Amino acid sequence: MNKKGSGLVNPNPQSMIALLVFIIGGSLILYIMFLPPQDRADLLEQNRTALGLPPLKDKITLILMEEPGRLSNIPDTEIFKSLPEFNLFTRTDATSLIDFDSIYIKKSLYEEQQRNITFKIDKFDDTDNFILSFNAPTHVGMMTIILNGNILTSKEFTTESPSPIKLPKDFLQQQNFLVFKVSGPGVEFWKNNEYILENLKITADVTDRSSQENQQMVLITEQEKDNLESFKLAFAVDCREIDNAPLEVYLNKRIIFSGVPDCGSKVLVPEVDESRLRKGENELLFRTEKGNYLIYNVETKLKLKEPIFPTYYFTINDDDFALLSKNQIDVNVTLLFPNSEDQKKGILLVNDYFVDINTYEAKYSRNVNGFVRRGNNAVEIRPKQDKMDVLELKVIKAE
C-beta of residue 192 within 8 angstroms of C-beta of residue 113: no
| 21 domain residue, yes or no | no
Final residue in a domain of this structure, among 254, 280, 308: 308
The pLDDT value recorded for residue 35 is 61
Residues 390 and 319 in one domain: yes
* Residue 53 resides in a domain: no
Using an 8 Å Cβ cutoff, are 395 and 333 in contact? yes
40 located within any domain: no
Spatial distance between the Cα atoms of 38 and 378, rounded to a whole number of angstroms: 39
201 and 219 fall within a common domain: no
CATH of the domain at 278: 2.60.120.260
Q: Is residue 101 part of a domain?
A: yes
The alpha carbon of residue 39 and the mean position of all alpha carbons in its chain are separated, in whole angstroms, by 47
Residue 372 domain flag: yes
Residue 379 to residue 375: CA distance in whole angstroms: 13
Domain final residue pick, 288, 308, 328: 308
Query: Residue 226 sits in which domain range?
Result: 76-90+210-308
175-182 and 143-147 beta bridge pairing: antiparallel
Smallest CA-to-CA distance from 215 within 301, 282, 265, 292 is with: 282
What is the pTM assigned to this prediction?
0.52
Residues 377 and 348 both lie in one domain: yes
The pLDDT assigned to 8 comes to: 43
**What was the pLDDT predicted at 43?**
53
Residue 75 pLDDT: 66
Domain ends where: 208, 238, 272? 208
Cα four-point dihedral sign 367, 372, 378, 383: negative
Query: Are residues 214 and 86 both part of a single domain?
Result: yes
- Taking only Cα atoms into account, the Rg of the chain, rounded to an integer number of angstroms, comes to 42
Question: Are 64 and 84 part of one and the same domain?
Answer: no
In a domain, 254, yes or no: yes
Q: Do 204 and 252 fall within a single domain?
A: no
Domain-embedded: residue 5: no
**Statement to judge: residues 329 and 301 lie in one domain:** no
Quick one: 321 and 180 in the same domain? no
Q: Is residue 50 part of a domain?
A: no
* 260 and 319, same domain (yes or no): no
Total tally of structural domains belonging to the chain: 3
| 80 shares a domain with 220 | yes
Same domain, 229 and 82: yes
Residue 128 pLDDT: 94
330 and 373 co-located in one domain: yes
pLDDT at 33: 67
SS3 307: strand
Q: What is the pLDDT, as a whole number, of residue 156? A: 93
Query: DSSP letters along 104-170, please?
Result: EEEE-SS-EE-EEEEEE-TTGGGEEEEEEEEEEEEE-S-EEEEETTEEEEEE---SSSPPPEEE-GG
Mean pLDDT per 10-residue segment, the chain (399 residues): 44 66 72 61 47 62 90 76 91 91 90 92 93 95 95 94 95 95 83 93 92 92 85 92 87 95 92 92 94 94 82 90 92 94 91 91 93 91 87 92
Report pLDDT for 120. 93
Task: Quote the pLDDT of residue 150.
Answer: 95
Q: What pLDDT, on a 0 to 100 scale, did the predictor assign at position 321?
A: 93
